[in-house]
Amino acid sequence: MDELIARQGNLSKMAIAMGDDGLARYTLRAGESRLDLNARLGQTLRLSHSGAIACTHCGRATRKSFGQGHCYPCFKRLAQCDTCIVKPETCHYFAGTCREPEWGERHCFQPHVVYLANSSGLKVGITRHTQLPTRWLDQGAIQALPILEVETRQQSGFVEMLFKGQVADRTNWRAMLKGEVAEIDLCAERDRLLATLADGLADLRARFGENTIRTLDAEPLAIDYPILEAPTKVVSHNFDKTPSVGGTLMGLKGQYLMFNTGVINLRKFTGYEISVE
């Protein structure tokens, strides 16, 4: 449904798809309602938080959101909220202490991709192979290149740790939104890094198995975002401080709405009940 006037729902992160023309296409999700945000560029849009927050896992009301949309009990209980998701090299499945072993087997023991991306400069990242290109779109990357495939999430963490000695693993979100990002020859960077880190990768292959870390021969992906005008100064909106946020919608990048009044990261407010008009 493309009409959200006078409707309320709990936010999910924006759905982003990549068109054949390389342009990211955004859909706002509030409960069961949907809104084509690309079609709203240049128009007035307002999101108002009712004050209610619901856990995205169990649905219970919570006064505060933890781990992007969870109540505190779920945040402490779910494997997807454990610190090893952020730091995969600390996986403790084989120690017998995984919060949800069956969940871990479904999500962590499947192929993961190590990639280079350019969102605010060169960075390294990891994700499940099924999450491409969604992961890059969520980060606001304008370029991306898969470079290695590994068998498990833990292995991807060890590979990422190796690369982090040479390249950043975080995005400067302000620079990403301003568009102050020069294009990078990702293939040249891939070749440089693989050569520089050859000994470290050989050690990991010796540890986990020769075929568990595979070099990919992929082409770089270029991504464009629907932006009428990027902000020159980034002012960040926050539903916890300002329940009603809006203005003229000037652009969409990553999980951010870019208004003429400031920007808001909707992923941060997953589970918040909002009305849209």
**pLDDT tens profile 158-170:** 999 999 999 999 9
Question: Which residue among 58, 89, 109 closes a domain?
Answer: 109
Burial of 20 (0-12, 13-18, 19+ CB in 10 A): exposed
196 and 210 share one domain? yes
pLDDT at 2 over 90: no
Residues in Cβ contact with 133 at an 8 Å cutoff, skipping those fewer than 6 apart: 18, 144, 221, 223
DSSP structural state of residue 225: -
As a whole number of angstroms, the distance between CA 84 and CA 59 comes to 24
pLDDT at 254 over 70: yes
174 and 204 share one domain? yes
What was the pLDDT predicted at 8? 83
Q: What is the CA radius of gyration of the chain?
A: 20
pLDDT at 197 over 80: yes
Q: What percent of the chain has pLDDT over 90?
A: 95
What was the pLDDT predicted at 101? 97
Q: Are 205 and 162 in contact (CB under 8 A)?
A: no
176 and 243 share one domain? no
Task: Work out the angle between the directed axes of helices 186-196 and 198-208 (0-180°, nearest 10).
Answer: 70
Distance of alpha carbon 28 from the chain centroid: 15
Smallest CA-to-CA distance from 270 within 68, 105, 124 is with 68
Q: Does 97 map to a domain? A: yes
Q: Does 238 map to a domain? A: yes
Q: Does 152 map to a domain? A: yes
157 and 208 share one domain? yes
Containing domain of residue 37, as a range?
A: 7-69+227-276
Q: Does 1 map to a domain? A: no
Q: What is the pLDDT of residues 113-144, one digit of tens each?
A: 999 999 999 999 999 999 999 999 999 999 99
Q: What percent of the chain has pLDDT over 70?
A: 97
Question: Which residue among 61, 88, 109 closes a domain?
Answer: 109
Among 7-16, 22-31, 246-255, the minimum mean pLDDT is found in 7-16
DSSP class per residue in 45-73: EEEEEEEEEB-TTT--B-SS-BTTTB-HH
Q: Does 2 map to a domain? A: no
Q: What is the pLDDT of residues 35-45, one digit of tens each?
A: 999 999 999 99
Paired tokens of 120: 């605010």
What size, in residues, is the chain?
277
Q: Does 198 map to a domain? A: yes
What was the pLDDT predicted at 180? 86
88 and 104 share one domain? yes
| Number of structural domains found in the chain | 3
What was the pLDDT predicted at 4? 44
- What is the pLDDT averaged over residues 261-265? 97
218 and 231 share one domain? no
48 and 139 share one domain? no
43 and 127 share one domain? no
Q: Are 105 and 88 in contact (CB under 8 A)?
A: no
Alpha helices, DSSP H, located in the chain: 72-77, 83-86, 101-107, 134-139, 153-163, 173-178, 186-196, 198-208
116 and 218 share one domain? yes
115 and 103 share one domain? no
Q: Does 17 map to a domain? A: yes
186 and 135 share one domain? yes
Q: What is the pTM of this model?
A: 0.93
243 and 196 share one domain? no
Q: Are 274 and 8 in contact (CB under 8 A)?
A: yes
What was the pLDDT predicted at 1? 42
Q: Are 255 and 29 in contact (CB under 8 A)?
A: no
Q: What is the pLDDT of residues 167-187, one digit of tens each?
A: 999 999 999 999 989 999 999
As a whole number of angstroms, the distance between CA 260 and CA 106 comes to 42
User: What's phi and psi for 175, nearest 5 deg?
Assistant: -65, -40
As a whole number of angstroms, the distance between CA 181 and CA 270 comes to 28
User: What's phi and psi for 56, nearest 5 deg?
Assistant: -75, -15
Q: Does 25 map to a domain? A: yes
- What is the pLDDT averaged over residues 211-216? 96
